[in-house]
């Protein structure tokens, strides 16, 4: 976590050094390396690319921890209605998720979990507000969390803390079933929707799953919302200098039966990929986004 703190201080210093009156973009919050490149592994190169998840691999804290958490704190404080939604029927699942994460963090280095507050590895102290479980969760981990619960023939999005959306908005998706959540993704057709729903139905407590995606972006901003009716920018190849990759995990909560869809976001400069990752990217190109 020392590296995370050092990175945050460097980024704050860069921002403070800007001349008065100048409008400069905030410094990019990036990881120094991408631990897993999905395009380089044949198991994850094609959809859906699902793999079993070891219990200790669910929640991660990487070298961007302090900087990402500072951005999460800012978004939750300034725009809570944008990054948070919780339908009344999902409140039991949200409370169960908070309890589950707190139990995990109790054993994680750098965390101190008390009865009323949590001390994070970056030194920030987060009050435990059990009346706002997802907002509290959003300040504890780098992950975003979405709750999906069975409704009729599909699972629907019933709650989320989503600070780092990648070209979608929570307000448009809350309450929708899986196929509605993925609109207007072209590859998410009826056949894939049925396969994904069967996958959700088969998830069991203690047997989590994960996948990872990746796209090239020109803009490294973590908070990257886009409405469904907004045109999607496709930057030129020479402008897409960042790899944005999400580690997406599916975890079944044992008491409420809700499925947790968690998202750990990596943003890495293309030049920081390993030689092996860069060669695999040349051999198996990925898409470009905004």
> Chain-wide mean pLDDT for the chain?
89
pLDDT of amino acid 180: 74
Per-domain boundaries in the chain = 39-107+128-283
pLDDT of amino acid 179: 77
Q: Contact, 145 vs 169, CB < 8 A?
A: no
Report the distance separating Cα 223 and Cα 226, nearest Å. Answer: 10
What dihedral angle (degrees, nearest 10) is formed by the CA atoms of 208, 132, 155, 217? Answer: -70
Closest CA to 163 of 233, 74, 242: 74
pLDDT of amino acid 220: 96
pLDDT of amino acid 18: 41
SS3 275: helix
Q: Contact, 290 vs 232, CB < 8 A?
A: yes
Report the distance separating Cα 223 and Cα 118, nearest Å. Answer: 24
Q: Contact, 175 vs 156, CB < 8 A?
A: yes
- What confidence tens digit (pLDDT) does each residue in 56-96 have? 999 999 999 999 999 999 999 999 999 999 999 999 999 99
Q: What's phi and psi for 141, nearest 5 deg?
A: -130, 160
Residue 269 has pLDDT above 50, yes or no: yes
pLDDT of amino acid 234: 81
Closest CA to 251 of 76, 115, 101, 66: 101
| % residues pLDDT > 90 (the chain) | 73
Global pTM? 0.88
Closest CA to 141 of 82, 101, 93: 101
Kindly indicate the confidence band of residue 130, based on its pLDDT and cuts at 50, 70 and 90: very high
- What confidence tens digit (pLDDT) does each residue in 243-265 have? 999 999 999 999 999 999 999 99
Q: Which is more confident, 19 or 244? A: 244
Length of the chain: 290
């Amino acid at each position: 976590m020392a590296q995370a703190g050092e990175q945050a201080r460097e980024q704050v210093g860069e921002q403070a050094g800007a001349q008065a009156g100048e409008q400069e973009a905030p410094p990019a919050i990036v990881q120094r390396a991408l631990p897993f490149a999905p395009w380089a592994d044949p198991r994850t190169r094609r959809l859906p690319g699902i793999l079993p998840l070891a219990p200790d691999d669910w929640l991660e804290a990487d070298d961007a921890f302090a900087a990402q958490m500072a951005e999460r704190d800012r978004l939750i404080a300034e725009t809570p209605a944008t990054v948070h939604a919780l339908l009344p029927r999902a409140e039991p699942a949200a409370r169960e998720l908070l309890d589950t994460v707190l139990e995990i963090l109790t054993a994680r280095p750098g965390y101190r979990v008390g009865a009323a507050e949590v001390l994070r590895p970056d030194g920030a102290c987060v009050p435990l507000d059990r009346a706002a479980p997802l907002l509290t969760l959003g300040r504890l981990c780098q992950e975003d969390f979405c709750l999906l619960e069975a409704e009729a023939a599909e699972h629907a999005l019933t709650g989320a803390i989503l600070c780092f959306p990648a070209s979608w908005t929570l307000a448009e998706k809350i309450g929708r079933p899986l196929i509605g959540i993925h609109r207007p993704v072209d590859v998410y057709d009826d056949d894939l929707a049925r396969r994904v729903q069967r996958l959700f139905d088969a998830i069991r407590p203690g047997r989590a799953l994960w996948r990872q995606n990746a796209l090239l972006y020109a803009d490294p901003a973590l908070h990257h919302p886009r409405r469904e009716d907004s045109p999607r920018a496709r930057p030129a190849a020479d402008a897409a200098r960042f790899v944005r990759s999400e580690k997406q995990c599916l975890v079944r909560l044992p008491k409420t039966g809700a499925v947790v869809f968690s998202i750990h976001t990596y943003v890495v400069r293309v030049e920081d990929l390993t030689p092996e990752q860069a060669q695999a990217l040349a051999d198996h190109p990925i898409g470009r986004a905004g």
